[in-house]
Amino acid sequence: MPSAAASAADAAALKLAEATAALAAIGGFEAQPRVAVAVSGGPDSMALALLAERWARARGGAAVGLIVDHGLRRDSAVEARRVAGWLAARGMPSEILRWTGDKPVRGIQAAARAARYGLLAGWCRNHGVLHLLVAHHRDDQAETYLIRRRAGSGRDGLAAMSAVREFGGCRLVRPLLAVPPARLLALLAAEGQPFVRDPSNLDRAFERVRLRLGAAAAAIDDAAAAARACGRARIVREAALDRLIGRAVTLHPAGFAAIERDALAAADEECGVRLLARVATTIGGLDYPPRLARLARLHAGLSTSPERARTLGGCCFVPWRARLLVLREPAAAEPPVCLAPGARLLWDRRFAVAVPPAATGMTLGYLGQRRAGGDGRSFAGDLPPLVHSVLPALWDGDGLIAVPHIGYRRDRATAPPTLVFSPANGLTRAGFTVV
């Protein structure tokens, strides 16, 4: 049972100095920060918008509110304009982003969330804004912990939400994860700031709403504390993994990795499995790592039969000298694609491609997906022959044009596209952060 002093603290309006301290603990902002704030118009996001605008302005920067009109309620457009007006009255610019097109009949919450974040991240990319602030608070964190515990999540999952997450070309920043929502409501009351009430927040059809309405205050407090403890333990594990990656893994811009087998063998089992998960996710262009049981079998197999090649998560794990090469599995790769002049695309979820306007009739694929043809050139270069079949290559009607990562280009050929290895999840990433 929370004490009277704790209850009073929970009800006190959140101060700018406290939000400033949370943002300083997160770090990574410019000297004159430019930030975007996701503003639904609800009390949490309105409170964050007020604080973020003052914080950025005090540092010579600026904050902009991003309001998503999801179109799911009849008055959503009117509501979005009302929120924009509230922000304007506070001297904060905003933009309304509209979710257009057909809406799904099922899974509407998940679809709306994906569309919302897609719109927000796209705006940040297009405007060069590196930080997207969202207003998840202590109770959201507690609910996430309870949902994941009920689902049997592992230790990393029970850490719930990180205060920082890399997201679609920007950072998703959650500075309010330790703040009770009552303190955000108290701030708005002190400011005389109205807000929107979303009726879906009372719809018991959604698991998170049932938890929110059914959980006792003490249970929320305990869950938030448990998530915080799990988060701190996760930070320790991630630091150990980062050290191992630094010692053991080399990542090549052609889209493969080499793992030092001795360093992997010397690591404890949990850290070794985590390393394999991180490498497989990167080289396979995955959103999520393979299942833990499969990773554990891979790790055990590499120890008991180190001479055997294996596949997992769209990757081939191939012994080579004192290393383990991790290559794209050809059977899992995207087929060759015809490139339009001036196009920009992400191919095979791994390579960002920029095609010159003058480049016509080119096809991009992996070298092993099509015979080299042309002059029959040997592709020795400086790379292990094992990787040649999964090197990105370009063809036209006359045969092979270029294999950029070994420096091959056919005489008098048009300048090839620029290829940058840019997987969905990189080998290193923003560490889990607790505020």
Mean pLDDT of 325-349: 96
Instruction: Answer yes or no: is 73 within a domain.
Output: yes
Instruction: Give per-residue pLDDT as tens, 216-246.
Output: 678 899 999 999 999 999 999 999 999 999 9
Residue 336: C-alpha distances to residues 252, 286, 353, 394 (Å)? 21, 19, 13, 9
Does 223 reside within a domain? no
User: Would you place residue 71 in the very low, low, confident or very high pLDDT band (cuts 50, 70, 90)?
Assistant: confident
In this structure, are 372 and 307 located in the same domain? no
Residue environment code for 371-388, b if the CB has 16+ CB neighbours within 10 A, otherwise e: ebeeeeeebeeeebeebb
Q: Is the pLDDT of residue 330 over 60?
A: yes
Average pLDDT of 48-69? 98
Share of the chain above pLDDT 90, in %: 76
In angstroms, rounded to a whole number, what is the distance separating the alpha carbons of residues 382 and 253? 13
263-295: per-residue pLDDT in tens?
Answer: 999 999 999 999 999 999 999 999 989 999 999
If asked whether residues 200 and 255 sit together in one domain, one would say: no
Higher pLDDT, 383 or 266: 266
Cβ-contact 323, 259 below 8 angstroms: yes
Confirm if 196 and 150 have CB atoms less than 8 A apart. Answer: no
Q: Cα–Cα distance between 41 and 193 in angstroms, integer?
A: 11
Q: Are 300 and 273 in contact (CB under 8 A)?
A: no
- The per-residue pLDDT for 372 is 46
Residue 296: inside a domain: yes
Of 264, 332, 338, nearest to 300 by C-alpha is 264
Q: Are residues 56 and 202 in the same domain?
A: yes
Which of 295, 314, 331 delimits the end of a domain?
Answer: 331
Q: State which amino acid sits at residue 223.
A: A
**Same structural domain, 340 and 243:** no
pTM of the model: 0.82
List C-alpha distances in Å: 103 to 69, 72, 109.
Answer: 13, 8, 11
Total structural domains in the chain? 3
Whose tokens are 């097109």? That residue is: 101
Task: Give the tokens for residue 243.
Answer: 């050290």
Question: Quick one: average pLDDT of 311-327?
Answer: 96
> Exposed, middle or buried: residue 89 (CB in 10 Å: 0-12, 13-18, 19+)?
exposed
* Helix residue ranges, H only, 285-334: 292-304
The residue ranking higher by pLDDT, 376 or 31, is: 31
Structure confidence at residue 102 (pLDDT)? 80
* Amino acid 211: pLDDT: 63
| Residues 12, 139 within the same domain | yes
Average pLDDT over residues 297-319: 96
Average confidence (pLDDT) over 139-152: 93
| Exposure letters 204-243 (e unless 16+ CB within 10 A, then b) | eeeeebebbeebeeeebbebbebbbebbeebeebbeebee
Q: Are residues 115 and 51 in the same domain?
A: yes
CA distances from 422 to 260, 284, 291, 386, 416 (A): 23, 11, 23, 22, 18
Tell whether 34 is covered by a domain.
yes
What are the C-alpha distances in Å from 366 to residues 64, 76, 248? 43, 47, 27
Confidence of residue 424 (pLDDT cuts 50, 70, 90): confident
On the 0-12 / 13-18 / 19+ scale of CB atoms within 10 A, 156 is middle
Q: What is the pLDDT of residue 197?
A: 83
Q: Are residues 185 and 45 in the same domain?
A: yes
Residue 168, judged by CB atoms within 10 A of its CB (0-12, 13-18, 19+), counts as middle
According to the model, what pLDDT value does residue 199 have? 60
User: What's residue 108's pLDDT?
Assistant: 80
Output the six-digit token pair for 1.
């049972």
Share of the chain above pLDDT 70, in %: 91
Task: Tell me whether residue 261 is in a domain.
Answer: yes
63, 90 contact by CB (below 8 A): no
User: CATH number, domain at 269?
Assistant: 1.20.59
The pLDDT assigned to 370 comes to 75
Highest mean pLDDT among 5-19, 170-184, 413-427: 170-184
Tell me: do 38 and 170 sit in the same domain.
Answer: yes
Average pLDDT over residues 66-76: 89
Reported confidence tier of residue 207, pLDDT bands at 50, 70, 90: low
In a domain? residue 429: no
Q: Quick one: 200 and 170 in the same domain?
A: yes
For residue 71, the number of C-alpha atoms closer than 13 Å in the C-beta half-sphere is 11
pLDDT at 301: 96
Q: For residues 414 and 339, state if they share a domain.
A: yes
Q: Which residues contact 318 (CB under 8 A, 6 or more apart)?
A: 309, 324, 325, 326, 327, 386
Over residues 81-126, the pLDDT tens digits come to 999 999 999 999 999 999 988 877 777 878 888 999 999 999 999 9
Q: What is the mean predicted confidence (pLDDT) over 362-379?
A: 68
Bridge partners for 400 per DSSP:
395
Burial zone of 426 (CB within 10 Å; 0-12 exposed, 13-18 middle, 19+ buried): middle
One-letter amino acid of 365 = G
The confidence score (pLDDT) of residue 107 equals 79
Same domain, 326 and 350: no
Q: Do 121 and 130 form a contact (C-beta atoms < 8 A)?
A: no
14: DSSP letter: P
Query: Parallel, antiparallel, or unpaired: how do β-strands 62-69 and 164-167 relate?
Result: unpaired
The pLDDT value recorded for residue 245 is: 97
Average pLDDT over residues 379-389: 74
How does the average pLDDT of the chain come out, rounded? 90
Domain boundary among the residues 215, 249, 267 is at 215
Per-residue pLDDT at 377 exceeds 80: no
Q: Which two tokens stand for residue 315?
A: 């990757």
167 pLDDT band, cuts 50/70/90, is confident
Asked if 112 and 191 sit in the same domain, the reply is yes
Q: Which residues fall within 8 angstroms of residue 210, CB to CB, at 6 or more apart?
A: 204
- 389, part of any domain: yes
Cα 318-323-324 angle, rounded to 5 deg: 30
CA 244 to chain centre: 22
| Residue range(s) defining the domain that contains residue 247 | 239-331
The whole-number pLDDT of residue 103 equals: 79
- The answer on pLDDT for 176 being more than 60 is yes
Q: Is residue 431 domain-resident?
A: no
Of 46 and 212, the one with more pLDDT: 46
From 331, 351, 386, the end of a domain falls on 331
